[in-house]
Structure 1
Amino acid sequence: MSYLGLGRKMKCNKSNRLQCGLTLVEVAITLAILAVITGIAYPSYLQQVRKSHRMVALSDMLAIQHELERGYDNGYHFEQIVSAGTCSICDSQTTRYRFEITAGSTVTYIIKATAQSSQQQTKDSCLDDDKSMTLNALGVTTPAACWGQ
């Protein structure tokens, strides 16, 4: 008889040969444990993926602001950086975030990154109802939860 679990002698086995393999109960228990671990780990993994893409978008917004300030020449030239929601200097995937620069009423400009639903970025837990993050010329950011404030 094997003590390492490599084989078993079965009482009903008349030829007394070692039987190798797993029983159906052992397989079912293993699958149940795997399902529980997957049920907990996968949603957490997806949230971390969303968070990493959010961090890239935040970095891109700061890069846009830097480029606007660096290139200031009696006015900001938005169209050279962002056109039709696509940023020419950004690392973010266009399927995750759409960028927009608008002239503000009380500040010079507002940079806005809107999460896109095609990659489920809109399910990011820090985003408000409008699913966007903003940064204005004065450095004011929203929502605070996304910016780590």
Structure 2
Amino acid sequence: MNSARHSSGFTLIELMIAITIIGIIAAIAFPAYQNQVEQTRRTTAQADLLELAQWMERQYSNGFDYRDAGNAPALPFTQSPQNGTAFYNISFSGNVTRDAYTLQAIPTGGQAGDDCGTLTLDEQGNHGAAQANCW
């Protein structure tokens, strides 16, 4: 009594093919996701630099001087995003003078490998980064 047994399911080869396809899709999707995350963090830092530039203009309108008693003013926040894990450290680049300043956002932590590097913004609205397409 040798009856043939019919079993349903997947063969090992079918499973290996499915796993390979999933691996290829993941290898393509993950870098695209990482680029999108970096771009979102960069956009947040740019918005924070613009917010600080507006704050600096309000400071200037009080006494026609960007400085506070001859020194660089204390910024209301020094990281981006303003709350949570910092992906950019924000500070002044160089000296703040009576009529000029440059803000900079330096990538840190999970953003440290960003190709755009340090983002800058000055009192005239000129912005910069390591690459031209970053702003």
Percent of paired sites with the same residue: 28
1:79 to 2:74 alignment? yes
The list of structure 1 runs, each at least 4 consecutive aligned residues, that deviate by more than 3 angstroms after superposition, is 14-18, 90-94
Q: What are the residue-to-residue correspondences of 1:10-25 with 2, within 5 Å?
A: 14-25=2-13
C-alpha separation between the residues in 2 aligned to 1:86 and 1:42? 27
1:99 aligns to what SS in structure 2? strand
C-alpha separation between the residues in 2 aligned to 1:112 and 1:92? 18
Structure holding more strand per residue? 1
The corresponding residue for 1:97 is: 88
TM-score, length basis structure 2: 0.79
> 1:142 deviation in Å?
0.6
Q: Gapped runs of 5+ residues in structure 2? A: none
1:135 to 2:130 alignment? no
1:122 to 2:120 alignment? no
> 1:20 deviation in Å?
1.9
C-alpha separation between the residues in 2 aligned to 1:93 and 1:133? 20
1:145 to 2:119 alignment? no
Aligned residues: 124
The corresponding residue for 1:65 is: 53
CA RMSD between the two structures: 2.4
> 1:145 deviation in Å?
1.9
Aligned partners of 1:56 and 1:91 also within 8 Å: no
1:38 to 2:26 alignment? yes
Structure number, greater radius of gyration? 1
> 1:146 deviation in Å?
1.2
CA spacing shift, 1:48–1:92, aligned 2, 3 Å: farther
Q: Gapped runs of 5+ residues in structure 1? A: 1-13
Q: Which fold has the larger relative contact order, with Cα–Cα distance below 8 Å and residues 6 or more apart in sequence? A: 2
Structure holding more helix per residue? 2
